[in-house]
Amino acid sequence: MASGQHSTVIEQLVVLTYSIWKDQRVQTLTSLTGTALLLYVAYHAVLTLWFWIKPGGILIYCHSETGSWALVTGASDGIGQAFSDDLLKRGFNVLLHGRNPQKLDGVRKKLAQKYPRRSVDIVVADASKVDESYKVVAEKVKQLPGKLTILVNNVGGVSTYPQYVPHAEMAHENIDTLLNINLRFPTQLTAALLPTLKANAPAAILNCGSMGGLMAMPYIITYAATKAYIRHFTECLRTEMIAEGTTNVEVMGWSIGNVESNSNRFQIAGTATSEECAIASLDRVGCGRGFTFPRWLDFVQARGAQMLPERLVRKITIAEMSNRRIAEQKSL
């Protein structure tokens, strides 16, 4: 097409567009559409803001006259210990689970001294030996002087060393250890305690997932895959409770971001302390969602990653995990 003809076509399109725009009905429709879009965005912005600032509903589970108990697995340190501390602060008695009796008893004494009006007990069981451990914990729950109303499935993480390893180089026993701790133990324990929680309702089952379960993570793929399982397990169990008419047992979980702990010293933007993570997570209880994020910052990071091109997200993830692997190898 010649240059002059091309210009004529453009001019005709401009004239046609302007003539359409001058039509009062088109202007009215455009105005209504724009207003509706703004109202839609404003409505969801208000809902999102309210979600993050509204008070939590965890205290409805602190109702037993003989004392309401919360079981926190993996409570020897890190997020588990922080969960226990905050639950005691909110009025619950706490049963601490861990595998190291000396360490666990030290935590018990510290928390009992800090909260003298609460009861703190311990149960020792190795979550990596799932066939024995969940039965030990379930038996201990039967001996509590009050009612168990909250189960926090916190135990997990990358407990094998080195942590960052190509999958083909992982020892078979290490793979089984990660599967037992992060997947089999919480699944079996939940099944064992569900009848008790139903009997003591209202009650809650709270599961710790990870943002690692939302993204493709190299060098920790067994761990990341178990966290994806935890998310789906939580959603399925929540749906099953509704299907069976059990509306007074809340099932929910969190996609937890990077948290500084004894087993994780890597700092990235937005890294939370164990205390910050635990408090924010418990504040989300009763939010109405099956799986969410503890902090608004975690939510923004996850949504931001979803908006980026997949190739870019993979490139960033590979760079971060490769750096962690190199740093770990240097420290060995």
Residues marked active site are found at: 223
- Element spanning 253, H or E: strand 249-256
Q: Tell how many helices (H) and how many strands (E) occur in the chain.
A: 11, 7
Cα 226 to Cα 156, 192, 212, distances in angstroms: 9, 20, 9
The Cα angle at residue 72 between residues 70 and 75, in degrees rounded to 5: 140
Strands of the sheet with 120-124, listed across from one edge: 120-124, 93-98, 68-72, 147-153, 203-210, 249-256, 291-292
Backbone angles phi and psi of 221, in degrees to 5: -70, -30
Cα 142 to Cα 83, 139, 151, 195, 298, distances in angstroms: 22, 5, 14, 12, 37
Enter the tokens of residue 183. Answer: 């997947």
84: Cβ–Cβ under 8 A, 6 or more apart, which residues?
A: 70, 72, 75, 94, 96, 107, 111, 120
Helix/strand/coil for 69? strand
Closest by CA to 163, choosing from 320, 332, 315, is 332
Enter the tokens of residue 142. Answer: 């039967």
Contact assessment for residue 204 and residue 92, using Cβ atoms and an 8 Å cutoff: no
